Amino acid sequence: MNLPLEDLFNDIVSKAQRGLGISTDELAQKTGLRSQAIEAVKEGATDIPTLLKIAPQLGLHGPALEVMSDQAWYPQPVEMVGLAQFNTPYHDMTVNAYLIWDPTTLEAAVFDTGADAQPIVAKIQELGLTLRSLFLTHTHPDHVADIPTVGAPEILISEKETHPAATTFAPGATWQLGSLTIESRSTWGHSKGGTTFVVRGLSKPVAIVGDALFASSMGGGAVSFRDALATNRKEIFTLSDDTIIAPGHGPMTTVGEEKAHNPFYPEFKV
């Protein structure tokens, strides 16, 4: 079963408005719209003319929002040897974790734990993998909820967002996993030490991004919305278009698909 998109079109409008600190009354003044019409869109009304008027004021791509309001896009399925996604319920949402392995040496790494890491452990045993490391994208509870079950000999996290169970590294650090390389990139903004891990050596590069980016959306920028946008542009959207995006919530996607469909990044649209 396909995972639902993390955000609907109205969630994106609300995230952008909140992140930029623009009130509904101010947005109404800038667009000549009634505040009630804007609030209705934020509640999920599919009012396309209103949506297209407010989008530029929020730095969003209006046509991409329109496609989302029509539920007319979903990323292509991702299947690749050496990559597995796990999705587990956490309170009123679900959260992703990932297993990466070298198909030749069978050395493996886990990225975040999800709410329940037992399915990951079972997969490691099924495939006869040797777990080397657990990498944490950030410390929000849903991503680190089951560290003990993973049982990793090494737990790693950015020095900008420490965890008592983990050893810290400076952003930019790299590791070897069999024939694979893992590179850390700072994609903070949603959290103060948010990290994207770029894995190379499989059939396509993979970027495990935590909550920095979602299929057709992004994290809420709780620490800094503007820096969340900027670090995504610098560290994720400069990767090759075929790079698989493995987000903390929702389905996997690719850099190319996000350039074409993510409303938060209008500069990539043709």
CATH number at residue 19: 1.10.260.40
Domain count within the chain: 2
Q: Would you write out the chain's pLDDT as a tens digit for each of its 270 residues?
A: 689 999 999 999 999 999 999 999 999 999 999 999 999 999 999 999 999 999 999 999 999 999 999 999 999 999 999 999 999 999 999 999 999 999 999 999 999 999 999 999 999 999 999 999 999 999 999 999 999 999 999 999 999 999 999 999 999 999 999 999 999 999 999 999 999 999 999 999 999 999 999 999 999 888 999 999 999 999 999 999 999 999 999 999 999 999 999 999 999 997
- For residue 104, count CB atoms less than 10 angstroms from its CB and return exposed for 0-12, middle for 13-18, buried for 19 or more: exposed
Strands 107-111 and 244-247: unpaired
In a domain, 146, yes or no: yes
Residues 64 and 98 in one domain: no
Amino acid symbol at 187: T
Cα–Cα dist 56/269, whole Å: 13
Residues 95 and 142 in one domain: yes
Query: Which of 108, 189, 90, 82 has the alpha carbon at shortest distance from 144?
Result: 90
Cα–Cα dist 10/13, whole Å: 5
pLDDT at position 1 is 65
CATH number at residue 107: 3.60.15.10
In a domain, 74, yes or no: no
In a domain, 3, yes or no: no
pLDDT at position 253 is 98
SS3 200: strand
pLDDT at position 221 is 87
Residues 110 and 186 in one domain: yes
- For residue 191, count CB atoms less than 10 angstroms from its CB and return exposed for 0-12, middle for 13-18, buried for 19 or more: buried
Starting at the edge strand found earlier in the chain, the sheet holding 93-101 runs 83-90, 93-101, 107-111, 130-135, 155-158, 167-169
In a domain, 77, yes or no: no
Token pair in block for residue 136: 């944490």
The neighbouring-strand residues paired with 197 are: 184, 208
Cα–Cα dist 111/100, whole Å: 8
Domain span at residue 57?
9-69
Residues 119 and 240 in one domain: yes
The neighbouring-strand residues paired with 184 are: 197
pLDDT at position 30 is 95
Residues 183 and 52 in one domain: no
Question: 76 Cβ partners below 8 Å, 6+ apart?
Answer: 254, 257
